[in-house]
Amino acid sequence: MAIVGLRNLVYAKLLTDPVNGIATYGEVKPFAPAITAGVETGQESATQYADNGPIAIMTQIGETTVSLTVDEIPMEVIADILGQEIKKGVIAYKQTAVGPYVALGFAGNKSDGNERVVWLTKGRFSIPSDEWNTKTDSPEFQNQEIEGTFIRRDSDEVFKIVGDTAVAEFAPYRSSFFEEVFDIAQLDTTPIV
């Protein structure tokens, strides 16, 4: 089924990500009303040749780039995801600020009424771009665009978690998928229905 919609853009700060441990996250918060989300994961392939022909292919997965177009990112969210300080409704951007790692979640509506739900587990955002145009006779919306780069977690090497509500076995997780960053350890236990 085709994806025909986008909703529920949320984020959560990554608090800890110990090697061979369990990643922990802060509260899941709304990001901004979503218009578009482009997710592209870089991959490089190499082919080994021997005996006058190819004998093996190796693929390396790289970083994932997220491009979002949103209605308007609230000032509190911009400050939170960029590591900037907001004071009395003003952000004075500092070049020395380092944004926290965050997880990003969203849902894509499918043409059959189900959803494809996604968490990207560890990434940072860059300062959003804005477009400002003068008013004309017909109203024209100016949206915000922001990009983020996401990588794998140190704790388990997971960089993306995707669920599909059309799959019957996903039913126990459907209502709670965005309550917190989805814990894949749940998949190894018997769900309580």
Query: Does a structural domain hold residue 193?
Result: no
Alpha helix ranges (H) inside the chain: 75-82
122 within 8 A of 168, measured Cβ to Cβ:
no
Instruction: Kindly indicate the confidence band of residue 87, based on its pLDDT and cuts at 50, 70 and 90.
Output: very high
Question: Using CA of residue 93, residue 99, residue 105, residue 108, what is the dihedral sign?
Answer: positive
pLDDT at residue 192 is higher than 70: no
Query: Does a structural domain hold residue 2?
Result: no
pLDDT at residue 193 is higher than 80: no
* Number of domains, the chain: 1
CATH assignment of the domain containing 42:
2.30.110
Query: Does a structural domain hold residue 19?
Result: yes
103 within 8 A of 66, measured Cβ to Cβ:
no
Name the phi and psi angles at 179, rounded to 5: -70, -35
Percentage of the chain modeled with pLDDT above 70: 97
pLDDT at residue 191 is higher than 80: no
Query: Does a structural domain hold residue 125?
Result: yes
Q: What share of the chain is helix, strand, coil (3-state, %, to 5)?
A: 10, 45, 45
Query: Does a structural domain hold residue 45?
Result: yes
Query: Does a structural domain hold residue 1?
Result: no
Domain hosting 148: range is 7-188
More confident residue, 37 or 1: 37
Joined tokens for residue 73 = 């990112």
Percentage of the chain modeled with pLDDT above 90: 80
Mean pLDDT for all residues in the chain: 92
For 88-125, how does the pLDDT look when each residue is reduced to its tens digit (9 = 90+)? 999 999 999 999 999 999 999 999 999 999 999 999 99
Instruction: Work out the average pLDDT over 160-166.
Output: 96
Q: Left if phi > 0, otherwise alpha if psi is -120 to 50, otherwise beta: which for 192? A: beta
Query: Does a structural domain hold residue 182?
Result: yes
Rounded-to-integer distance, Cα 15 and Cα 17, Å = 7
- The predicted structure's pLDDT at residue 181: 97
Answer yes or no: pTM beyond 0.95: no
62 within 8 A of 42, measured Cβ to Cβ:
yes
Instruction: Work out the average pLDDT over 59-65.
Output: 93
